[in-house]
Structure formats: C-alpha cells, structure tokens
Amino acid sequence: MARKKAVKVLRKQKKRETMQRFTQKQNIGRACLTAKEFRLLQRMSHSSKALRNVGLYTMKQSYLNHNRMATIKEVDTAMQADMNYWGVQSNSVQAIRRAVFTEVKSFFKALEQWKKNPEKFTGHPKFPNYSRSTDKRIIEIYQVPKVDDNGYWMIPMNVAFRKKFASTRIRMPKNLRNKQISYIEIVPKQKGRFFEVHYTYEMH
C-alpha cells in the first residue's frame, strides 16, 4: 500500500512593520531658560563630562598597573565615589559607562592588531584622551518624561540634586508633542554657551 505524501501547508506570513527613526533639533539659549536653569544645565553637562574622565582614569590605571581592562564594578564604584555622580541621572551614568567601555575596547583591539602588524600603523595606539576642564558632555535621556498641557517637560535628575538646585523645564516643539519620542539628547555647543535638544522619535 502506497504511503500518502505529506502535504505542506503554506501559512500567510504577517507583514513586518518597519519602524523608522527621525531626529529633530531644537536650539536652547539663555532666552529660553531662566539664568538659574541655564546654569543648572551647564552644571549637569559638566558633571557628565567629569564622570567620563573618572571612568577613563579607572580604566587607564587598570591598564598601566595590571595590563587589563577594569571591570564594570570597578568603574561603577569609582563613579559613585565621585562628587559629580549625584548631578547625573542613573540612566545617563550607564550610558557614560557604556561609551567609556566602547572607547577603551577599541584601544585594546587596535593595540592587539598593532602588536601583530605594527607596519600597518603610523605609531603606537594611544589610550583615549580625557576631556578638557572647559569641555561639556551631552546629557542623555532614555526615560522620556511626560509633557504637560503647555508642552513643557522636566529634565530627569537625581532626587537629592533636584531638591538642592530645583528642576529645569524645556518646552517641546508643537509638532513633536504627539510623536512617539524614544530618546532625547541635550548637546552643549561652543563649550556650553548654548544647547541643542535632539529629539529622536519613531514612525511606522
């Protein structure tokens, strides 16, 4: 008796929705904020830069003394002990740490390649540079805050930091208030003389 051939059942595949990301910039100067709010923004971007330097210093000492990368725990401990830690929101601290690890991993990768083929390089790979004292660093916001009826949103910050220095509000452009915003960057320009807010939003 001949066996019946298995019949393949073709199922309809669901259409995959493609998500596109867009970024819109907004200039923030002294005219948009109070003098106190503007100084607070400068302080936060300075703290962000300072924590990057703390992470790099911890990494460099581990490399010089032990010829290895510092662990996440070692970098976190060093950052938490620094006076600038409380001026940066926890998600931003994690982003700074990730950026530091990415920079240092690139250095170690280049160092390994240099040891194998030094002729491919113009010189010995250099450890990432520290930021200068006058430099500022971006403020990264991953948990997008709520926008009130007038279009204002508050910059997330450490509770103790807010109690001492109060909060800072920024008015979102009208065309973005109904968008699905996933990420915000506050980017210092001209060493903190003014700022740009970068809103990243998603659309199907």
Per-residue pLDDT tens digits for 38-79 = 999 999 999 999 999 999 999 999 999 999 999 999 999 999
- 145 in a domain, yes or no? yes
What is the rounded average pLDDT of the residues 91-113?
A: 94
> Which residue, among 43, 54, 42, 23, has the nearest Cα to 130 in the 3D structure?
54
| The total number of structural domains that make up the chain | 1
- 18 in a domain, yes or no? no
pTM of the model: 0.81
- Tell me the two tokens of residue 53: 């330097």
Confidence of residue 32 (pLDDT cuts 50, 70, 90): confident
Can you tell me the distance from the alpha carbon of 103 to that of 56, in angstroms, rounded to the nearest whole number?
A: 9
**Spatial CB neighbours of 149, under 8 Å, sequence gap ≥ 6:** none
Q: Quick one: angle between helices 72-81 and 35-66, nearest 10?
A: 140
Tell me the residue range of the domain where 105 lies. Answer: 25-203
- 11 in a domain, yes or no? no
Span of 14-23, 123-132, 152-161 with lowest mean pLDDT: 14-23
Confidence check: pLDDT of 105 > 70: yes
CA angle centred on 101, ends 100 and 107, rounded to 5°: 95
Confidence of residue 167 (pLDDT cuts 50, 70, 90): confident
**Spatial CB neighbours of 110, under 8 Å, sequence gap ≥ 6:** 121, 125
- 108 in a domain, yes or no? yes
Q: Residue 105 in 3-state DSSP?
A: helix
- 5 in a domain, yes or no? no
